[in-house]
Each structure stands twice: as C-alpha cells, then as structure tokens.
Structure 1
Amino acid sequence: AFFERARTEILRQLGISQQTLLQESIAFVVKKMDISYHAPAHLDDMLTISTQVEQVRKASIIFKQTIFNQNKRVISTADVLIACVDITKMKPCALPKLLVLEFI
C-alpha cells in the first residue's frame, strides 16, 4: 500500500488526476512487482518512500521504489511495472502525453 500511495502522490504533484483519467477510460494497473524486504518497520516508525522512474515505454512505466525509516535504514525495495490500459477494452493504451513529457 505504501508503494501505491507514493506513485499516486507523484501523479498528483504533476497535476495528473487519476479520477480524470478514469473519466477518459484510462487507468494504471500493476502488471509486475518484485518486492524485497530488508528490515522490519515498527509501529510509529516514520517511513519515507523514494520513487524513481527507471524506464518509460509507450504504454508502461517501470518504477524503482525504496521505503526508508526515520534512521534512513532501507526497509523494503520494489521494482514495479505499471501498464496503462483502456478500461472499456481492457487493452494496453498509450500513456498520457503529459505523463511521458514529465518522465522523459
């Protein structure tokens, strides 16, 4: 859930509303996710999620994400492949141009 929230916040900061995209029949789905857990997170830990764009393709983005605790210890890492889909057809579609321009 933390990784998902961080990706949503990046879109929000770029002025991209997932609600608006849904009205245009566009959604993002997790196609593949590789997670490694390195250390436990404890109750009341302050967690920070770093999100880097690794690769932008026509209809997908690969993110590299890392969760750190307040002592900068790595808690978890993830490589996430997000696909852009047309929800009326449930088929891949091109990423919104604004998103591509922001990430390239």
Structure 2
Amino acid sequence: MADSATYSFPVRVYYEDTDFSGNVYHAAYLKFFERGRTEFLRDVGIHHFELAVQGLAFAVCSMQIEFLRTAHIDDLLTVTTEVNAITGARLVLRQQILRADTVLTEAEVVVASIRMSGGVARMPKQLLALLRSDKP
C-alpha cells in the first residue's frame, strides 16, 4: 500500500462549470476529480501517453461520491488525491474537493489497469513501485 501522502491540485470554478444559479453542476465535480487523478499520476511519474505506448490505460470501475456543500462560480478549490489501496491491477483512491478548509465533495474511486485492446491487465512492477512511493 502507498504511503499516506496526499497530492493537492488547485481548480478554479469557471462559468462553464456552473448551472443557471452560479452553483457548480454536479457533473463538473467528476471533471475536477479526473484532473486531480491525472495530476497525481503525473506527479509520481506516470503519464497517460507513456501508458498508451505500452498498450495500457486506467479506467474508472466505480466511484462513490458524497456532495456535502456547494461550490460557486469563481471559487478556488483544491482537489486532493490519496491512495487507499493497491492490488496488481486496481487502485483505490480517496479524493476530496475543498474550498479553503471546508470539504465540499468526497469520493472513493476504484481504477483498473486495462489493456487498450481490452481486458484488465496487471500493472507493471515499475508502475506499482511509483504508486507505492518506493521508487525503483
């Protein structure tokens, strides 16, 4: 299992993220979480393009979300991503979206390593090492 380090990524709420009332539309939170996961992976040295060259990708298998408070247009948010568990082919992440110190939305996301040609694939040892923070 990875250490408990939490990766943080800032996100500004734009007009396109909101509904008619100026509140963030629920589907926009999914985009914010995706950006947080992508930047977390980039930070540990995993790039989607390099995975694709190897014929691999990550796919979200499940996501449990709780919407606790509303974000608004022009808010500066922080998306946090933390690894909860790692198996040979799956990654369980805990993510939160905060405004200052207030948690607005939180999610548990299960991501699987897949072959781009189809099917689940075990993650290469080097990739697992990066995720576990015990760099090869």
Bucket of the pairwise TM-score, normalised by the shorter protein: over 0.9
| 3-state SS, counterpart of residue 34 of structure 1 | strand
Distance 2:82 2:45 in 1: 18
Residue in 2 that maps onto 1:101: 129
Distance 2:51 2:131 in 1: 17
Distance 1:16 1:22 in 2: 11
| 3-state SS, counterpart of residue 10 of structure 1 | helix
Structure 2 gaps of 5+ residues are 1-30
2:113 to 80, 84, 88: 84
Bigger Cα Rg: 2
Amino acid in structure 1 at the alignment position of 2:77: L
> Percent of pairs identical after alignment?
34
Distance 1:99 1:11 in 2: 10
TM-superposed deviation, 1:54: 0.4
TM-score, structure 1 length as denominator?
0.92
2:61 to 25, 31, 40: 31
CA RMSD between the two structures: 1.0
Amino acid in structure 2 at the alignment position of 1:23: V
Structure 1 gaps of 5+ residues are none
Residue in 2 that maps onto 1:45: 75
Distance 2:35 2:125 in 1: 22
